[in-house]
Amino acid sequence: MNGGGEGLAAPATSGAAVSPLEWKFSQVFGERTAGEEVQEVDIISAIEFDRTGEHLATGDRGGRVVLFERTDIKDHGGHRRDLERMDYSISRHPEFRYKTEFQSHEPEFDYLKSLEIEEKINKIRWCQTANGALFLLSTNDKTIKYWKVQEKKIKKVCEMNVDASKSMENGAVASSMSASSKPYLANGACKDRPVSSPSNDTSFPALHLPVVVTSQETSLVARCRRVYAHAHDYHINSISNNSDGETFISADDLRINLWNLEISNQSFNIVDVKPANMEDLTEVITSAEFHPTHCNTLAYSSSKGSIRLIDLRQSALCDTHSKLFEEQEAPGSRSFFTEIIASISDIKFAKNGRHILSRDYMTLKLWDINMDSGPVATFQVHEHLRPKLCDLYENDSIFDKFECCLSGDGHRVATGSYSNLFRVFGCSEGSTEATTLEASKNPMRRQVQTPARPSRSLGNLPRVLRRGADNSGADANGNSFDFTTKLLHLAWHPSENSIACAASNSLYMYYA
């Protein structure tokens, strides 16, 4: 296995640089009006596209999962593959609409540990669809749930068990019961008539069973298929589906468990970094993800800035890693904040499985799984905040966990920042793209055209350092940044240049 020759995607090796994208606003859900106060439970805490890109799920701090479905393809009356065969191109941008929502988690209380478990959704992962139903996993700090969302036709009762004409006669007889010499019982029988003899009295209604028919109307029903609980002592930070479609992993600070989707009362502990003496603990697990195509391979990151690749074929308990990815510290650069800002908050595999994208507080790093000497590219995101690390530590902003994502073609990466800004970097050969966008209806409002340093071929260099345009409408000290508005969660459409991102309780969508 060589560490150089292959690029992120076939077009990246053609020698022609990929031109920067021009991002446009698509739509927003849950937009705030001026002066509107945001409820804590409405703040979005997770975003995820499904594999087809036709559905999008969000989770919030109130434990709700909201599903959206794509409408612009359906509106053209054909499947996407049929549309691609047409001679004309469709100029409409991706559009989504609200599909349904359901309450995934409720607040709980652990009486043994006197610990309150909040309902906030930490992660959502889509599973394979079957028979027109959607399946997904959602988790809070302690409990994972497996949901099935399906359209069901509404059943209605079209005929009742009382004949209207007979009931009128029955009503007349009932009203004259007191004057009649024959007392009748409540069910219409007569005391003087034997129970076994059939009644020929036509004044009482015959028994009609209600007729239930299935109407053409449908409703979406979300049903919890499985609950995976009581397997984590610490807060769950990641869940990830396996490519085999049968298993998934869940990770907390010290352990990673392997589950079968159909078995909720048993899991296998495959990684355990808990020391015998907790005083010897030096690092914790921060994120974990399965390889997109190799069902035996997964990666997990740590608070020390390292990524470990493990192979489930080596042993049942993966105490040893097959590869370790970490960047060596520059001599004399260590400070009080070094370990804090080195902690990786999120990792993502590229679609082809060749590269891993990681996000720490200051940078985005792109790693080649065939080269463990260091990252092949580094993108500066928060370098302008280095002089303010003391202030960020005081207000706990330095512990914010920003997510990252890659485009489906592997040409670009993206991550969030403060003041509801997010950054998009080009990572293909020759790309100088470094765009700053704001989560608003005018995404380019904060854009400052400062070109990034030209990047060189990933195949020609063992390591490439690229610095993005750090001036994002702020001064050198970042004074104009609002640290209370942070864009932590975003997702890239699996096959198109479309990004969904969460700014507080609002879901913004952009396309290029």
* pLDDT tens sequence across 158-174: 766 555 555 454 444 44
pLDDT at position 463: 41
Average pLDDT over residues 22-48: 91
HEC string for 219-268? EEEEEEEEEECCCCCCCCCEEEECCCCCEEEEECCCEEEEEECCEEEEEE
pLDDT at position 160: 65
Mean pLDDT is lowest, of 179-183, 451-455, 478-482, for 451-455
Can you tell me whether residue 166 is helix, strand or coil? Answer: helix
Question: In percent, how much of the chain has pLDDT > 90?
Answer: 61
Output the pTM of the full model. Answer: 0.79
Task: Measure the CA–CA gap between 416 and 374, rounded to whole angstroms.
Answer: 23
**Of 249 and 20, more confident:** 249
Average pLDDT over residues 227-246: 96
pLDDT at position 163: 56
Q: Give the helix, strand, coil percentages of the chain, each rounded to 5.
A: 10, 35, 50
Report the amino acid identity of residue 192: D
Task: Measure the CA–CA gap between 242 and 249, rounded to whole angstroms.
Answer: 8
Q: 375 to each of 7, 208, 324, 333, 357, how far by Cα in Å?
A: 14, 76, 12, 18, 9
Task: Measure the CA–CA gap between 329 and 418, rounded to whole angstroms.
Answer: 26
The encoded tokens of residue 46 equal: 């997770």
pLDDT tier for residue 140 given thresholds of 50, 70 and 90: very high
pLDDT tier for residue 228 given thresholds of 50, 70 and 90: very high
Question: In percent, how much of the chain has pLDDT > 70?
Answer: 76
Cα 30-33-37 angle, rounded to 5 deg: 85
pLDDT at position 81: 56
Closest to 258 measured CA to CA, from 275, 233, 241, 235: 241
Is the confidence at residue 46, as pLDDT, over 60? yes
Query: Residue 95: exposed, middle, or buried by beta-carbon count in 10 A (0-12, 13-18, 19+)?
Result: middle
pLDDT at position 28: 96
* CB atoms closer than 10 angstroms to residue 67: 22
Closest to 70 measured CA to CA, from 89, 44, 51: 51
- Give the chain's count of helices (H) and strands (E): 5, 30
pLDDT at position 94: 83
Strand partners, 35: none
pLDDT tier for residue 415 given thresholds of 50, 70 and 90: very high
Task: Measure the CA–CA gap between 174 and 166, rounded to whole angstroms.
Answer: 12
The residue extents of the domains of the chain are 38-75+91-144
**Of 214 and 166, more confident:** 214
Task: Round the average pLDDT of the chain to a whole number and report it.
Answer: 82
* Sign of the alpha-carbon torsion through 256, 258, 263, 267: negative
Task: Measure the CA–CA gap between 213 and 324, rounded to whole angstroms.
Answer: 61
Sequence-distant (≥ 6) Cβ neighbours of residue 475 within 8 angstroms: none
pLDDT tier for residue 491 given thresholds of 50, 70 and 90: very high
Average pLDDT over residues 286-302: 96
pLDDT at position 16: 54
Mean pLDDT is lowest, of 123-127, 234-238, 394-398, 430-434, for 430-434
* CB atoms closer than 10 angstroms to residue 239: 23
Can you tell me whether residue 292 is helix, strand or coil? Answer: coil
Report the amino acid identity of residue 396: D
Q: 6 to each of 1, 187, 368, 414, 492, how far by Cα in Å?
A: 10, 83, 10, 22, 23
Closest to 67 measured CA to CA, from 54, 82, 51, 83: 54
Helix (H) or strand (E) holding 349: strand 346-349
Q: Which residue has the tokens 């409820």?
A: 39
Task: Measure the CA–CA gap between 489 and 60, rounded to whole angstroms.
Answer: 11
Is the confidence at residue 75, as pLDDT, over 90? no
Closest to 127 measured CA to CA, from 221, 255, 222, 244: 244
Is the confidence at residue 449, as pLDDT, over 60? no
pLDDT at position 207: 65
Can you tell me whether residue 437 is helix, strand or coil? Answer: strand
pLDDT tier for residue 206 given thresholds of 50, 70 and 90: low
Q: Which residue has the tokens 């010499």?
A: 181
Residue 26 CA neighbour count, 13 Å, CB half: 24
Task: Measure the CA–CA gap between 55 and 71, rounded to whole angstroms.
Answer: 10
pLDDT at position 303: 96
pLDDT tier for residue 420 given thresholds of 50, 70 and 90: very high
pLDDT at position 212: 74
Sequence-distant (≥ 6) Cβ neighbours of residue 357 within 8 angstroms: 347, 348, 349, 350, 364, 365, 366, 367, 404, 405, 406, 413
* CB atoms closer than 10 angstroms to residue 163: 15
Sequence-distant (≥ 6) Cβ neighbours of residue 315 within 8 angstroms: none
**Of 161 and 305, more confident:** 305
The encoded tokens of residue 424 equal: 């998009």
**Of 348 and 131, more confident:** 348
Mean pLDDT is lowest, of 100-114, 318-332, 410-424, for 318-332
Task: Measure the CA–CA gap between 57 and 136, rounded to whole angstroms.
Answer: 9
Task: Measure the CA–CA gap between 487 and 215, rounded to whole angstroms.
Answer: 44
pLDDT at position 471: 42
Strand partners, 492: 499
pLDDT tier for residue 446 given thresholds of 50, 70 and 90: low
